[in-house]
Amino acid sequence: MKTTTREARQNIRQYILDHFDPCGYDFTGPCSFPNVARFILAVHAGEKAYSPEYQSRKGYTNEQVFIDWAQGLPSVLDTCYFYNRSAVDDLGEILEQSEREKAKYTEQEAEQLLTHLIYRELKRGAAEK
């Protein structure tokens, strides 16, 4: 399935909710996707506080800073697919891919795409009311 389909986006949202762990953080409120998305992005901003000047000097986008943060194994969001879980398998499950379709990705390509999809849905979710 394409990454932009409603079903794929819903699967990504469920993946985020399944891998969200607010233990050790001051998370209050309902566990709705918009609340979780805003919280994860706020934690990311606090833990990876690159100033806009630093980002522009280095040529970083907000998404690249998010990817860098995700590679550091944040505790609020399980991103172990960078280290000890297969990103190809996680992505394949989200996109409901066959083994043949999954074989088109290297682990690094799957890590990058999966993190991009997570970031995209967090941004969309955070913008919802």
pLDDT per residue, tens digit, the chain (129 aa), is: 899 999 999 999 999 999 999 999 999 888 899 999 999 999 998 887 766 666 666 677 888 889 989 999 899 999 999 999 999 999 999 999 999 999 999 999 999 999 999 999 999 999 998
81 domain-assigned: yes
- Domain span holding position 54: 6-127
Helix axes 33-47, 107-127, angle to 10 degrees: 110
Residue 46 has what pLDDT?
86
84 domain-assigned: yes
How many domains does the chain divide into?
1
12 domain-assigned: yes
23 domain-assigned: yes
83 domain-assigned: yes
Q: Alpha carbon of 97 to those of 6, 7, 31, 45, 91: distances in Å?
A: 16, 13, 28, 33, 8
1 domain-assigned: no
pTM (two decimals):
0.91
68 domain-assigned: yes
Q: Report CA Rg, the chain.
A: 15
64 domain-assigned: yes
User: Cβ atoms within 10 A of the Cβ of 58, count?
Assistant: 10
Three-state secondary-structure class, residue 32: coil
